[in-house]
Structure 1
Amino acid sequence: MKWPILLLPLLVLVFAEDELPLAELCDEEQCKLPECRCSSTDIPGGLPARDTPQFVLLTFDDGVNTVNMPTYRSILYGRRNSNNCPIGVTYFVNHEYTDYTLTNELYNMGFEIALHSISHQTPQDYWRDATYDDMMREFGDQIIQMSHFGSIPRDTIKGIRIPFLQLAGNETYRMMADANLLYDCTWPTISHTDPGLWPYTLHYASIQDCQIPPCPTASVPGPWILPMIAWFDLNNTPCSMVDACFFIPDRENEEEWFKFIVGNFERHYLGNRAPFGFYVHEWFIRAYPAVQRALVRFMDLVNSLNDAYMVNAHEVIEWVQNPVPVNEYARRACRHTVPSPCRQTSCGPVRAEHTENLYYMQVCSACPNVYPWLGNPLGN
């Protein structure tokens, strides 16, 4: 009478697949923009590379606070692309130690605020094994939290990046579909770098290599994948975050760092023009002034080109959904951000129920009763 026990895993698998059907090979006749795109290195809209805008995506991870704001203000504020539109930058912000009044300032300057979880907790296995409910508490509730404390309009919060770039299989994308989140920029690729992999949806099976499993296997209509196309360091070793590259130029050598950045950029610009990501933590460019100067020189170069544009992650997805040639893109009206008011309030000490630690908070709302955390994102 052992066979019922042996069959149990199979029954669980069947029920799981009934809930989330396994993704099939992409059918290009059925998968059409703007809602669906097969995973591919083909340029959206069938455009030739010379007519395709080269998007440059600068992102920063983790908390926004008084330590990193001077860098953002000094190198990003007032910067414009060649079409005279303000540049785009995306901030993947986690909750702990974030100054929400400064997050509001970044939003009002026209930059994108995206999500990096409430807890950003260790160990990394927590994210690998996260359930749908875990991800909803971390990201779905963070939409509510960010909107409330940072006065960030909910409908502008579109994207996520999971801490440590640790995927959680299908559960992340189930959560995103239910929370009305548009894109995920967590998934690295080292196999689709030249030519690079363009953003795609999960209606069908992905061709992307799975570097930090578990990767999604189900058909989950709705969310977009914005692949983190790897850089290659001086030893040709791939790296997804700039500050994670190992064999790098001397951190005090501005000229060599500038060449290093441009060399990785040119693989995109002279290839299929898949979006080029400069994914970094602010501490790295603050700690090494020569690296920061090299980044500024690179941004100056991009802003001087009439076919390359610094944009935020949401803008990349919007273009892929409706691809137009670069000459038409250059004539588009500039992105406009409606300022969101912030009633600056200093709070604290606020007790954290999960640790008994005390926190001080800067918010755009009334102070919470307890420190906001998982299961209680507003600290009621």
Structure 2
Amino acid sequence: MKCFALLALLLVSSASLAEDSSTSSPCDPEACKLPHCRCSSIEIPGGLAPRDTPQFVVVAFEDSVHEENIVTYRRVLYNRRNSNGCAASATFFVSHLYTNYVFVNELYNRGHEVALHSMTHMNPSTYWRDATYDVIKQEFADQRVQMSHFANIPYDSITGMRLPFLQLSGDNSYRVMSDYGLKYDSSWATNAYTNPALWPYTLDYQSTQDCLAPPCPNASIPGVWVKPIIPWVDLDGNPCSLVHECYHSPDRFNETEWFQFFLSNFERHYFGNRAPFGVFLLEAILYPFPAVQNALQRFLDVINNLDDVFMVTADEVIEWVKNPVPVNEYRTQACRQFIPTTCVASQCEVISSYDGREYEFESCNVCPRVYPWLGNPLGQ
């Protein structure tokens, strides 16, 4: 009996040691060097001065892409160019449920980034808080296969993800990213690093970022990038991670006040350490409120004409951070290239083996046998 007790004690001790050994250590700037490693920091990559640093603006939308919101995206985003002549692009964190993949293909072929926002977008947020490695794998790694297949876009073009409700899952989501070749996550919000703001960093070492939606990652996961959610500041000075969540925001029928709201939050970055400025929106705040939509278009018109400001995808930000160059050099670089794809649309009506309901969606591939879902991302 004593032997069994001793063995059990040894097993517990070994497990504790294994857990401790996976915990990341404080970052050593001498050991953590670009392009593959970066400490969590407010310092500008490459040691550049703010005036020599490109100000990146990442406009990002979440959730499904469908017949209604694609109209807004076309109106607000299409045919924009930055001052260097390159296309101004946005990022779409797309969830599977209710998505029309023909429109996802259209967004990709317009030069916008298609990223992952989960297969199910399951409620409540505790689902994501408690999600195991296998759940995250099915929600995101399998969604990458699914997105590439039904939208007919290159698998390798899908590099980023965002967890629903910005609810983190500890180490699990980042381990899945590492194991399945995803580059960056844009789910981790901060309130402590508003001005100056936090730049993207890797999880090789311990993060100094505050944890607003625990559990936050503790393990060393080399090469995985965190693109922090830098908050906006509402009219009462309170932080808000997503624009539509700002409690004290302008009247949604007042275009001038919304334009100033966009501009004042942008200027905090532009006149600060030039960390990437995120405009993270739901289309639902634009379509019903023309004043907000017009204000956003006016704001984008302004930044698209500034010589040192660039509306780019989240993936492009990470690539610049890996190899930072001054703004005068960045302006002369070749524009980002991508491989256009075709889409032969299929109108699909299939039954879900999950809930027995019939779902309709458009695909750029042949229709599946059943509605694609967890454990069966291609509906085979």
Fold agreement, TM-score > 0.5? yes
Could you say which residue in structure 1 is the equivalent of 2:331?
330
Could you say which residue in structure 2 is the equivalent of 1:14?
17
Equivalent residue runs for 1:78-117 within 5 Å: 78-117=79-118
Paired amino acid for 1:14: L
1:84 Cα deviation after fit? 1.2
Paired amino acid for 2:40: S
1:235 Cα deviation after fit? 1.0
Question: Cα deviations across residues 102-123 of structure 1 (Å, max 9, x unaligned)?
Answer: 1000000000000000011112
Alignment gaps of 5+ in structure 2: none
The yes-or-no answer on 1:235 pairing with 2:210 is no
1:14 Cα deviation after fit? 2.8
- Separation of aligned partners in 1, 2:26 and 2:286: 42
- Separation of aligned partners in 2, 1:372 and 1:7: 45
Could you say which residue in structure 1 is the equivalent of 2:153?
152
1:337 Cα deviation after fit? 2.1
Could you say which residue in structure 2 is the equivalent of 1:248?
249
1:13 Cα deviation after fit? 3.1
Question: Cα deviations across residues 95-146 of structure 1 (Å, max 9, x unaligned)?
Answer: 0000001100000000000000001111211100111111110001011100
- Separation of aligned partners in 2, 1:340 and 1:9: 53
The yes-or-no answer on 1:29 pairing with 2:30 is yes
Report the secondary structure of 1:292's partner residue.
helix
Seen in structure 2, the aligned counterparts of structure 1 residues 52 and 355 have a Cα distance that, compared at 3 Å, is: same
Q: What TM-score results when the alignment is normalised by the length of structure 2? A: 0.97
Could you say which residue in structure 2 is the equivalent of 1:141?
142
Question: Cα deviations across residues 18-55 of structure 1 (Å, max 9, x unaligned)?
Answer: 5xx11111111110000000000000000000000000
Could you say which residue in structure 2 is the equivalent of 1:370?
370
- Separation of aligned partners in 1, 2:12 and 2:284: 47
Could you say which residue in structure 2 is the equivalent of 1:171?
172
Alignment gaps of 5+ in structure 1: none
Report the secondary structure of 1:304's partner residue.
coil
Could you say which residue in structure 1 is the equivalent of 2:361?
361
Could you say which residue in structure 2 is the equivalent of 1:341?
342
- Separation of aligned partners in 2, 1:291 and 1:224: 32
- Separation of aligned partners in 2, 1:242 and 1:11: 46
Paired amino acid for 2:371: Y
Paired amino acid for 2:90: V
Equivalent residue runs for 1:162-241 within 5 Å: 162-241=163-242
1:261 Cα deviation after fit? 1.1
Report the secondary structure of 1:286's partner residue.
coil
- Separation of aligned partners in 2, 1:15 and 1:6: 14
- Separation of aligned partners in 1, 2:223 and 2:93: 20
- Separation of aligned partners in 2, 1:76 and 1:261: 16
- Separation of aligned partners in 1, 2:11 and 2:231: 41
1:10 Cα deviation after fit? 5.1
Paired amino acid for 2:365: S
Moved runs in structure 1, 4+ residues, more than 4 A? 1-11
Question: Cα deviations across residues 315-361 of structure 1 (Å, max 9, x unaligned)?
Answer: 0000000000000101111112221111111111x111111111011
1:12 Cα deviation after fit? 3.6
Seen in structure 2, the aligned counterparts of structure 1 residues 6 and 260 have a Cα distance that, compared at 3 Å, is: farther
- Separation of aligned partners in 2, 1:273 and 1:38: 17
- Separation of aligned partners in 2, 1:158 and 1:178: 13
